[in-house]
Amino acid sequence: MDERNPTGRFSGRAEHYARARPGYPQEAFDLLVRDCSLKSDSVIVDVGSGTGISAEPFLKLGFRVIGVEPNQEMRSVAAEALGKHQGFTSAAGTAEATGLPAASADLVVAAQAFHWFDKERAKEEFVRVLRSGGWAALLWNDRKTEETLFLREYESLLRRLGTDYSKVCHRNLDETAFERFFAPSGFRLERFGNAQSLDWEGLVARNLSSSFVPAEGTSGHEEMMRALREVFDAFAEDGRVTIEYSTRVYYGRLRPA
């Protein structure tokens, strides 16, 4: 796999992604609405919007959301899932070239996506798209790796059998990356608890939604599935396992450096 091509890495994974990726706590969206002073007519641009997981809560709150996503499969799944919301539109673009008009957004959001961006070019594009005084927010569901035996074994499995997990993991970002992105205004960071309870099929889908997991029909897939089954059988209670997360929200006004 080529970590420089995040668009292609997620081809064939959209259905797994939509089914089994976790949502984000409602408190995270309430925080952004409050602290970013969003109004009923505010426009939110969701960059790397994927299957619409981070767009839907804003839509339910009544905002207009433009999803920017380069992967056609992801856009198609999002269109089907979010088509009932009149406020949703979708654009085939990237963080570095959204294709959107200048000064057209009040908040730009990137959920589970910022680590794939060219940070400097993305910032220039976000600043261009935002109205004066506009905000940016970067969200992650940061999977906990040490809190339970299951989480420890699952992390070990990914490091052992994932294709390039250590290279592309979003945890490779350090605080310097956020300081540079939000400079000169600075940023705020809030954390929220989050969790998923998954049966076997759900765990398989969650596993296969990750770009560093060997896809069906590729080398290493069967070995991954055997190891995953062993971990599930060892730690499932009443046929389910729990993945715990810390949801991180970095947000601030975005201005040119």
Tens of pLDDT, residue by residue over 111-148, are 999 998 999 999 999 999 999 999 999 999 999 999 99
CA–CA separation, 179 and 230 (whole Å): 41
Question: What integer pLDDT is reported at residue 172 of this predicted model?
Answer: 63
Amino acid in the structure at residue 184: P
DSSP line for 165-210: HHHH-GGG--HHHHHHHHTTT--EEEEEEEEEEE-HHHHHHHHHTS
Question: What integer pLDDT is reported at residue 167 of this predicted model?
Answer: 76
Q: Residue with structure tokens 């940070």? A: 119
Q: Cβ distance 53 to 20 under 8 Å?
A: no
Contacts of 117 (CB under 8 A, 6+ apart): 48, 95, 96, 110
Closest CA to 227 of 158, 177, 134: 158
Question: What integer pLDDT is reported at residue 192 of this predicted model?
Answer: 98
In the Cβ-directed half-sphere of 108, how many Cα atoms lie within 13 Å?
Answer: 32
Q: Cβ distance 20 to 198 under 8 Å?
A: yes
Does the predicted TM-score (pTM) go above 0.85?
yes
Tens of pLDDT, residue by residue over 169-198, are 666 678 899 999 999 999 999 999 999 999
Closest CA to 57 of 100, 89, 28, 14: 28
Taking the CA atoms of 106, 95, 180 and 129 in sequence, report the sign of the dihedral they define.
Answer: negative
Q: What is the mean pLDDT of residues 26-39?
A: 98
Q: Is the pLDDT of residue 53 over 60?
A: yes
* Fold observed for domain 6-253: Rossmann fold (3.40.50)
Q: Is the pLDDT of residue 91 over 80?
A: yes
Which tops the pLDDT comparison, 256 or 161? Answer: 161
The chain-wide mean pLDDT, for the chain, equals 93
Q: Is the pLDDT of residue 2 over 50?
A: no
Question: What integer pLDDT is reported at residue 211 of this predicted model?
Answer: 84
Orientation angle between helical segments 221-235 and 200-208, nearest 10 degrees: 140
Q: Is the pLDDT of residue 168 over 80?
A: no
